[in-house]
Amino acid sequence: MSSATVINDQAQEYKKQAAEFAADMVQEGMIVGLGTGTTAVFLVQALGRRHREGLRFLGIPTSVATEKLALSLGIPLTSFAQHESVDLAIDGADEVERGTLNLIKGLGGALLREKIVAAASKKFIIVADESKLVDHLGEHTLVPVEATPFGWESTERHLGALGARVSPRRTPTGQFFVSDGGNLILDCNFGTISDPPAIEDAIRRVVGVVDSGLFTGLAAEAVICGPKGLAHLT
Ligand code: 5RP
């Protein structure tokens, strides 16, 4: 087995431990935001087990993929048509800034629904392996920006004027990646970001942008797992 495989297996185990810890925070009767990504898969699987053991809760999924997984596990789902807010949303992240818990999300392309659910939550918790912790956002990850297909080239230029190197996300076969909402993702390289709330605001003001994967001031807690075990950051 190669060392890369061992590291990847360990990361998966850390993601699973963090997700299972957070799944235990779900209480009877809650409306729960169900995140998207490999860490969130462990979360939804753990919640599926809790549901089978008799815990009653309703999920609001943040992507079509999560919706399918939750339904396959028998988790009852609801929507914002029935419920104004979410009691607890649990999701992964691509980068988590130490100290602030500002985030980059959206490598999986689900950032818009994820942000809608996070913003509607009384509590938003991040689950991740330790490799996601950074001192400054942008160290390893581009900022995904969801943009309307019409005029995306103009939106791209305006994002470029904010200082980003921008590339439209493509599938492995070279097609434009299309989000669950039917939009494009423009991946923006801002380098290391010193003022995430200012960049998040500036991106949001660009016409054609639906929202970005910068999540500032939303996460209340992060459950991070690494070689030394679980850390609960607030
Ligand atoms: C999807 C996301 C994911 O939460 C993020 O990409 C983390 O994914 P993973 O748990 O697979 O590392 O934002 O849009």
pLDDT tens-digit series, residues 118-170: 999 999 999 999 999 999 999 999 999 999 999 999 999 999 999 999 999 99
Pocket test for ligand 1, best of 103, 105, 126 (most atoms within 8 A of CB): 105
Q: Is 114 a catalytic residue?
A: yes
pLDDT tens-digit series, residues 1-26: 566 666 688 999 999 999 999 999 99
Residues whose CB is less than 8 angstroms from the CB of residue 91 and which lie 6 or more positions away in sequence, other chains included? 33, 35, 36, 37, 40, 62, 105, 114, 117, 118, 124, 125, 126, 127
| Burial letters 142-169, b for 16+ CB under 10 A, else e | bbbbbbeeeebeebbebbeeeebebebb
Q: How high is the mean pLDDT of the chain? A: 96
pLDDT tens-digit series, residues 26-83: 999 999 999 999 999 999 999 999 999 999 999 999 999 999 999 999 999 999 999 9
Residue 175 has pLDDT above 60, yes or no: yes
**Is there a binding annotation on residue 107?**
yes
Please tell me the residue having the least CA distance from ligand 1 atom 4. Answer: 92
Q: Are strands 221-226 and 133-134 parallel, antiparallel or unpaired?
A: unpaired
**Is there a binding annotation on residue 36?**
yes
Atom index in ligand 1 nearest the CA of residue 91 equals 4
Atom index in ligand 1 nearest the CA of residue 111 equals 14
Which residues line the pocket of ligand 1, CB cutoff 6 A? 35-40, 91-94, 105-111, 114
pTM of the model: 0.96
102 CA to centre of ligand 1 in angstroms: 15
Give how far Cα 119 sits from Cα of 3, 63, 84, Å.
39, 16, 11
**Is there a binding annotation on residue 38?**
yes
Write the ipTM. 0.98
Please tell me the residue having the least CA distance from ligand 1 atom 1. Answer: 108
